[in-house]
Amino acid sequence: MTDKKTQEGIYTDFTNKMTYGEYLELDQLLASQKRLSNHHDEMLFIIIHQVSELWMKLILHELTAAIQSIQDGELATAFKMLARVSKIQTQIIQAWDVLSTLTPSEYMEFRDQLGQASGFQSYQYRMIEFALGYKSKHILAIYKKDALLHDKLTKALHSPSIYDVAIQALNNEGFFIEEQLLERDYSSPYVANHTVEAAWLEVYRNVDQYWDLYQLAEKLVDIEDWLQQWRFRHMKTVERIIGHKPGTGGSAGVSYLKKVLDHRFFPELWDLRTKL
């Protein structure tokens, strides 16, 4: 088959038709990489972080919909969304492998141009933490500059996390959950509860009877597992590039990143593995 025949039917006249570039607004997207220095590797630094923010946007899109689906009692619908989140997380983790090709000497050539800007300030990452249940009110101070963004984060802070609605799903199935937990202040960090652990243990001991809840629990474990792997790769990449220097945003850098590795989002789902 000739090349001419294989190309028959391909559109070439887009005078009155939308193009691929127009649909994706590529002119705007590809014009958003503006280096503040003349250093070659700053382009890598910008693109890695922009791509990660795009993936985080999709994670939030999926988590928000999954939370609503669980609240509506449509657990099977949520499973597809949560499985997609896990796949997205693998992409973000692999991005650290690309960034780690940046050497300390190369980064120092343009690091000062960043000023106090830092990935620590990523509001989408904070929104993901909020959606998973890690609530920290003090972090909102970083976003006071933008009133609309501050309001958005404040709303997310006070909204139920995916673990809150998972616990509500346990209650809806007839498991005993302490009333104070069902009516708790969602802006406060979640603290492990014995009635929640007892409920999840029953689910794992009777998988066939509670298959949907069991699947939900495992999807949540997948997400936390991948998030911790993301955190670890983040920490090691930072250590590889800047050692133990403070972050540009004023954080303690590697020591801070090591500390957050100890945090757990869904504690009972991890503890029950020892008790089964």
Annotated binding site for heme, which residues? 234
Give the number of other Cβ atoms within 10 Å of residue 231's Cβ. 16
Give 119: exposed, middle or buried? Use CB within 10 Å, 0-12, 13-18, 19+.
middle
Q: Which residue has the tokens 């850098």?
A: 253
Measured CA to CA in angstroms, residue 255 lies from 41, 59, 120, 152, 173 at distances of 26, 27, 13, 29, 42
Residues contacting residue 22 through CB under 8 Å, at least 6 positions apart: none
Detail the residues annotated as belonging to a binding site for substrate: 45-49, 107, 111, 248
Detail the residues annotated as belonging to a binding site: 45-49, 107, 111, 234, 248
CB 178 within 8 A of CB 195: yes
CB 181 within 8 A of CB 196: yes
CB 47 within 8 A of CB 115: no
The one-letter amino acid at 240 = R
CB 262 within 8 A of CB 232: no
In 29-183, DSSP assigns E strands to: none
CB 211 within 8 A of CB 205: no
The one-letter amino acid at 258 = K
